[in-house]
């Protein structure tokens, strides 16, 4: 549901740009919430899949090396 995540970012924009009474209290909260939503989105959609693919590639490489070691032992 990527649309929901984008909508949440947009819902906090009025708090960020408000200039009325009480806005000096709402602005820091809006900055923290928008930053947290952005950071969690980036981590979930970019960093975690990249890290998973990298670790999966490393484990496949180690499995292939282990398989090659056993092949050499059978012929010796």
Distance, in Å, from the CA atom of 52 to the CA atom of 45, rounded to the nearest integer, reads: 11
The C-alpha R_g of the chain, in whole angstroms, comes to 24
The DSSP code for 22 is T
Q: What is the pLDDT of residues 9-66, one digit of tens each?
A: 788 888 888 888 988 988 999 999 989 988 988 888 899 999 999 998 888 776 665 6
Higher pLDDT among residues 25 and 68, named by residue: 25
Domain boundaries, the chain: 2-75
The SS3 call for residue 35 is helix
d(CA 71, CA 2): 47
Q: How confident is the model at residue 70 (pLDDT cuts 50, 70, 90)?
A: low
Kindly state the helix (H) or strand (E) to which residue 34 belongs, with its residue range: helix 23-42
What's the whole-model pTM score?
0.62
Check residues 27 and 6 and name the one with the higher pLDDT: 27
């Amino acid at each position: 549901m990527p649309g929901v995540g984008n909508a949440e970012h947009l819902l906090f924009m009025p708090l960020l740009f408000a200039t009325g009474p009480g806005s000096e209290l709402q602005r820091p909260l809006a900055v923290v919430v928008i930053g947290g939503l952005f950071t969690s989105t980036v981590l979930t959609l970019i960093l975690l899949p990249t890290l998973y693919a990298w670790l999966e590639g490393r484990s496949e490489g180690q499995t292939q090396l282990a398989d090659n070691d056993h092949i050499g032992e059978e012929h010796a």
